C-alpha cells in the first residue's frame, strides 16, 4: 500500500491535485472537511472566539482520515494531521488562543501521534508540498469564490495569508515523517494546463519510484495519455 499526503496553504490546489493524483494512480482520495465544516465560516467572522474550536474540529477529522488511510490500501490525502500544529500555533502567536488552550491542544495532538505510531503503517510514504506565492494564492482563492476567504470580506486576511506562507517555509523544512517533494504551484497550473498536469504527475511518479513506493497495481508509462484523460 502507498499513502501520499499533500500539503500547502489555502488556495494552493491541494484538493484538485488530490483528485488528479488519486485518479491517475488508481487510489482513494481523502479530502479535508471544508464545505461541510460548520465552524469554518464562524472562524472567519470571529477568529478570536472560534480558533480553538476550529482546530479541534480539524484535528479530529484529520486524525480519523489518517488512521483510515494508514490502514487501507493506496490512498491520497489532500491534507493531514501533520500540518495541524502549524495552523494552531500561528493563530496562537497572533493572540487567538490562550496558554491553557495551547497546552491542551499540544497534549491532545501528542496523544494522537502516539496512537498513530502503533498503527501497522505508521507514516505516509510521500509528502507532496505545493509551494505558491502570495499572488497565486490570492488568485486561486478568488477563483474558487468562498466569500469568507476573500480580502473584500476581511482586509486583515492579507496579513494572515502572508504569515501563513512564512510559517509553511519552516514547516516544510522541518517535516521529517516521510520522504518529501515540492511542486512549484506558480509555474505549474496542473488544474488548467494539460502539459503542466503531465509534468507534475511525472515528477511525483519519479519520486515514488525513487523511494520504492509506486503502487504495485500501477502500470508504468502512458503518463501523457492518462493525464489527458484525467483532465477531461
Which residues participate in catalysis according to the annotation?
78
Q: Is 231 annotated as a binding residue?
A: no
* Nine cell digits for residue 2: 502507498
Q: Is 15 annotated as a binding residue?
A: yes
Q: Is 11 annotated as a binding residue?
A: yes
Q: Is 193 annotated as a binding residue?
A: no
List Cα–Cα distances, 34 to 10, 123, 221, in angstroms. Answer: 11, 24, 35
Q: Which of 204, 221, 230 is nearest to 76 (CA)?
A: 204
Euclidean distance between CA atoms 91 and 173, whole angstroms = 20
Q: Is 120 annotated as a binding residue?
A: no
DSSP string, 11-59: TS-HHHHHHHHHHHHT-EEE--S-TT-SSHHHHHH-HHHHHHHHHHHHH
Q: Is 55 annotated as a binding residue?
A: yes
DSSP state of 156: T
Side-chain-side CA neighbours of 158 within 13 Å: the count stands at 5
Q: Is 125 annotated as a binding residue?
A: no
Q: Is 194 annotated as a binding residue?
A: no
Q: Is 14 annotated as a binding residue?
A: yes
Euclidean distance between CA atoms 105 and 85, whole angstroms = 9
Q: Is 72 annotated as a binding residue?
A: no
Q: Is 9 annotated as a binding residue?
A: yes
DSSP state of 177: S
Angle made by CA atoms 178, 222, 11, in degrees to the nearest 5: 50
Q: Is 13 annotated as a binding residue?
A: yes
Annotated binding site: 8-16, 32, 44, 55, 79, 84, 140-144, 149
Annotated binding site for ATP: 8-16, 140-144
Annotated binding site for substrate: 32, 44, 55, 79, 84, 149
Amino acid at each position: 500500500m502507498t499513502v501520499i499526503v499533500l500539503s500547502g496553504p489555502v488556495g494552493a490546489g491541494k484538493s484538485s491535485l488530490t483528485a488528479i493524483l488519486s485518479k491517475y494512480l488508481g487510489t482513494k482520495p481523502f479530502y479535508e472537511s471544508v464545505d461541510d465544516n460548520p465552524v469554518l465560516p464562524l472562524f472567519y467572522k470571529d477568529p478570536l472566539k472560534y480558533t480553538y474550536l476550529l482546530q479541534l474540529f480539524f484535528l479530529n477529522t484529520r486524525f480519523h482520515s489518517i488512521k483510515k488511510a494508514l490502514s487501507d490500501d493506496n490512498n491520497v490525502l489532500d491534507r493531514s494531521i501533520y500540518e495541524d500544529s502549524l495552523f494552531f500555533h500561528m493563530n496562537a502567536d497572533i493572540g487567538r488562543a490562550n496558554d491553557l488552550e495551547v497546552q491542551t491542544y499540544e497534549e491532545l495532538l501528542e496523544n494522537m501521534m502516539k496512537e498513530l505510531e502503533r498503527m501497522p503503517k505508521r507514516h505516509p510514504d510521500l509528502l507532496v508540498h505545493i509551494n505558491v506565492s502570495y499572488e497565486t494564492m490570492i488568485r486561486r482563492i478568488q477563483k474558487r469564490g468562498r466569500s469568507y476567504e476573500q480580502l473584500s470580506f476581511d482586509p486583515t486576511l492579507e496579513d494572515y495569508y502572508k504569515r501563513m506562507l512564512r510559517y509553511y517555509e519552516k514547516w516544510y523544512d522541518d517535516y521529517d515523517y516521510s520522504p518529501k517533494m515540492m511542486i512549484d504551484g506558480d509555474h505549474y497550473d496542473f488544474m488548467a494546463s494539460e502539459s503542466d498536469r503531465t509534468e507534475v504527475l511525472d515528477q511525483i511518479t519519479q519520486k515514488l519510484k525513487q523511494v520504492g513506493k509506486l503502487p504495485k497495481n500501477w502500470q508504468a508509462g502512458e503518463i501523457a495519455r492518462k493525464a489527458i484523460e484525467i483532465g477531461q
